[in-house]
Amino acid sequence: MVLVSFSGDMDKLFAVLSIATAAASMGIEVSIFSTFWGISALRRKRTYRGKSVLQRAMNFLLPSRAGRLPLSRRNLFGAGPVFFRHLMKTQRVPDVEELVRVAQEAGVRFIVCAMSMSLMGLTQEELVDGIEMGGAATCVNAMAKSKSSLFI
Amino acid sequence: MDVQLDCKHLKCPMPIVEMAKAVKGMKGGEMLRVESTDPAFEMDVKAWAEMTGHELVSFEPGEVKVARIRVA
């Protein structure tokens, strides 16, 4: 199974990570290709060192880590995700950071689009460990071999 | 050896994740007993068994659902 993780919205990333984790736990080989806004799910910190002014600006506008992701609807200027995270904590639903870790443990491969990384001025040290770098050809190759591919 | 797994209060997809982890350390023919409060557990455990080849021997519905699985 191949999941293209394009969206940087917390709710959509839940769908990506839940499906991936379930599939991996059911013995299916799963690769998640994170590109564009989706890379934010794998982010653990923000650094400005060694980046151009535009890359720094882009970086400033992106969530600094997975715990700061917005919602696709009812974001309410950032209040939505706060309510959401509170509900998740009380109902013991794992958050995005936790789900990424669980997915990795379950055997999900995370491949990040190298082109988006440089466009957005992101470096690998800003992402969680265990992430591979790839391009469109890597993605297409995996999709061609896979029974199901999703773009979320 | 039989293994007990307490997945009460774990939400989807965590019971399946825990079951996959538990099964990794078990041998063929051993029994896994899972307790869950997840409303999706019945459908999910059946789907999981079908995909992984492990046999769902019994399922008890209720507030705490109990699945017994024979490891393939």
d(CA A18, CA B15): 12
Active-site positions of B read 12
CA of A52 vs chain B CAs: smallest distance (Å): 41
Domain count, chain A: 1
Supply the range of the domain harboring residue A96.
2-151
pLDDT in tens, B4-19: 999 999 988 999 999 9
Interface ipTM > 0.90 = no
Supply the range of the domain harboring residue B19.
3-70
d(CA B55, CA B40): 18
As a whole-number percent, the residues of chain B with pLDDT over 90 amount to 90
**Which residues of chain A are within 8 Å of residue B51 when distances are taken between CB atoms?**
26-28
Backbone torsion region of residue A36, taken as left when φ is above 0, otherwise alpha when ψ lies between -120 and 50, otherwise beta: left
Strand partners, B65: B36
Q: Which residues contact B42 (CB under 8 A, 6 or more apart)?
A: B59, B61, B65
Closest CA to B41 of B7, B5, B3: B7
Let me know: does B15 contact B44? Beta carbons within 8 Å.
Answer: yes
CATH number of domain containing A46? 3.40.1260.10
Domain count, chain B: 1
pLDDT, position A91: 84
